[in-house]
Amino acid sequence: MMMLGKGTIMGVSAYLTFLVIKEAAPDVQQPLVPTAIILLVSYMVGSMFLSVFSFSCTAILHCFILDEDTGGSDLTPNALKGFLADNDAKVEKDKKFKKVEGTGAEAEKANDMN
């Protein structure tokens, strides 16, 4: 996913640079040279931005998983408390049922949890 993001940032930056150079400075003979420089700079900026974004997404996911495993705390947002309660109820309901091995109609009927 990060390569898609970097490619998008680079492509949009290079395309806009090329258009601006063509319109604003028609006397530039080779607009591809400044576009290539901007392409490299946008790769570096995009890489730094997306690495911070990826790190923050991972940290948020880890915090959510910890909150889910511990059942929440005083710092859990109210919107998340309802989800955690519903999830705990579903887990408890699933623990009550044991899967019956087999492939016949009896096993299918026994494994139907609804």
List pLDDT tens digits, range 65-102.
Answer: 888 788 777 778 888 888 888 877 887 777 776 665 66
Lowest mean pLDDT among 2-11, 46-55, 87-96: 87-96
* Domain locations along the chain: 1-70, 78-114
Cβ atoms < 10 Å from Cβ of 46? 19
pLDDT at position 12 over 60: yes
| 113 φ/ψ angles, rounded to the nearest 5 degrees | -90, 0
Determine the Cα–Cα distance for residues 40 and 45; give it in Å rounded to an integer: 9
The pLDDT of residue 71: 72
75, two tokens: 């710092």
State the chain's mean pLDDT as an integer: 84
The answer to whether 35 and 21 have CB atoms below 8 angstroms apart is: yes
Residue of 114 and 36 predicted with greater confidence: 36
